[in-house]
Amino acid sequence: MIVSPSLLAADFANLGKEIEMINRSKADWLHFDVMDGVFVPNISFGFPVLESVARLCQKPLDVHLMIENPMKFVRQFSDLGTYMMTLHYEACPHLHRNIQQIHEAGMKAGVALNPHTPVSLVEDVLADADMILLMTVNPGFGGQKFIEHSIDKVRKLRRVIDEMGTDTLIQVDGGVNLETGRRLAEAGVDVLVAGSYVFGAERPEERVESLRCL
Ligand code: DX5
Ligand code: ZN
């Protein structure tokens, strides 16, 4: 299992220490949530923070854009060393072109789906996208309750990807802990994002390891 701890749940007064913990841990990526207060009802952090994080973080940066007009910033994310740039299906009327533009900028391209968006709507970009992110809570806040229906969505998407024979990764984000993570793994997830489950723990590195073993 690939594990991408979500920085949104970190202690921002001790950001340097939190990143050092991630560097020491067995985390595969670091998940960085950008919110604009328009696409989602919350604002998180942006380029100045990403710049500092990128300088210190030794893990690939997995950037989840919960913003309108994400393509406006493709060059800046690429220049800051983003590994995976994930935009929302619901914010992109020209998704196919946008995936190409992300690739041209030298990054991997992810497509995120809100809980109400069916997986069938991304079938025609599965061959192009590197990852599909299924939101397992409504985007905008950490620490929310896992939406049970997500398990069915993961199973459905797994089936389609296997039938098509693409190597698109399935990522889930929201309400992930050891219990939901285990069921998501069984349903066919490749990448677990976990915010409060990792950063809210007394021994976050152990939590990363426990998810990685799923
Ligand atoms: C929510 C963010 C998540 C968030 C997950 O909109 O996209 O990445 O940090 O937090 P937990 O794991 O606490 O549900
Ligand atoms: Zn996220």
Quick one: which atom of ligand 1 is closest to the CA of 174?
Answer: 14
- Are 33 and 7 in contact, with CB atoms under 8 Å apart? yes
Q: Is 33 a catalytic residue?
A: yes
- Quickly tell me which residue has 């939590």 as its tokens: 207
Which residue of the set 28, 33, 62, 162 is catalytic?
A: 33
- Which tens digit of pLDDT belongs to each residue from 22-68? 999 999 999 999 999 999 999 999 999 999 999 999 999 999 999 99
Looking at every residue in the chain, the average pLDDT score rounds to: 98
Torsion of CA 93, 97, 103, 105, to 10 degrees: -80
Burial classification of residue 41, based on how many CB atoms lie within 10 Å of its CB (0-12 exposed, 13-18 middle, 19 or more buried): exposed
- Are 204 and 10 in contact, with CB atoms under 8 Å apart? no
Residue type, 7: L
**Å from CA of 80 to ligand 2 middle:** 18
pTM, rounded to two decimals:
0.98
**Å from CA of 84 to ligand 1 middle:** 17
What DSSP line would sit under 51-116, residue for residue? HHHHHH--SPEEEEEESSSGGGGHHHHHHTTEEEEEEEGGG-TTHHHHHHHHHHTT-EEEEEE-TT
30 alpha-carbon distance from chain centroid: 9
Nearest to 64 by CA among 79, 84, 50, 45: 84
pLDDT band at 126 (very low <50, low <70, confident <90, very high): very high
Quick one: which atom of ligand 1 is closest to the CA of 8?
Answer: 9
- Which tens digit of pLDDT belongs to each residue from 70-83? 999 999 999 999 99
Quick one: which atom of ligand 1 is closest to the CA of 194?
Answer: 12
Q: Which pLDDT score, from 0 to 100, does residue 60 have?
A: 98
Alpha-carbon dihedral sign for residues 14, 20, 23, 24: negative
**Å from CA of 138 to ligand 1 middle:** 9
Residue 3 parent element (H or E): strand 2-5
Indicate the top mutation candidate among 196, 198, 207 to test ligand 1's pocket, ranked by most ligand atoms within 8 A of CB: 196
Q: Which pLDDT score, from 0 to 100, does residue 95 have?
A: 98
Residue 47 parent element (H or E): helix 47-56
